[in-house]
Structure 1
Amino acid sequence: MPRPREPHPSDRGWCVDDDGVRGVRPYLFHPPTVEEALLRGEGSRSPEGEFDELAGLVRTWLSLAS
């Protein structure tokens, strides 16, 4: 059984297999952004109830305006 071929980066940035045949560009890894972490439900959020008073004041103000 032949050993599995693993692509390796070449000087041009392409992945090249053991035979020297060009493959595809490797994906660049980047850490998740704050927005991506929040969309997945991770990361820092405000503690429960932190803005309850402000939200109540805004609702009161909006009800007075209409």
Structure 2
Amino acid sequence: MCQMMHALGAGKGSGKPFWEHLTNARIEVLRAVRSLIDERIDHLEKKKTEKSEKKATPIAVE
């Protein structure tokens, strides 16, 4: 893929709409990855909070 992009880069001036679209697509991919990371961080923080809220329950022993 990198070689293909490098080959296409030689003619950058002639396909300006193509490169604008490609740049926008790259931004969207990065935003998607960021949303996955943010979701995972939220999940881990929630899990950490739930663990700290758990307490032992006293059980009556006869």
Please, what TM-score do these two structures have when normalized by structure 1? 0.26
Larger radius of gyration: 1
Which structure features the higher share of strand residues? 1
Please, what TM-score do these two structures have when normalized by structure 2? 0.27
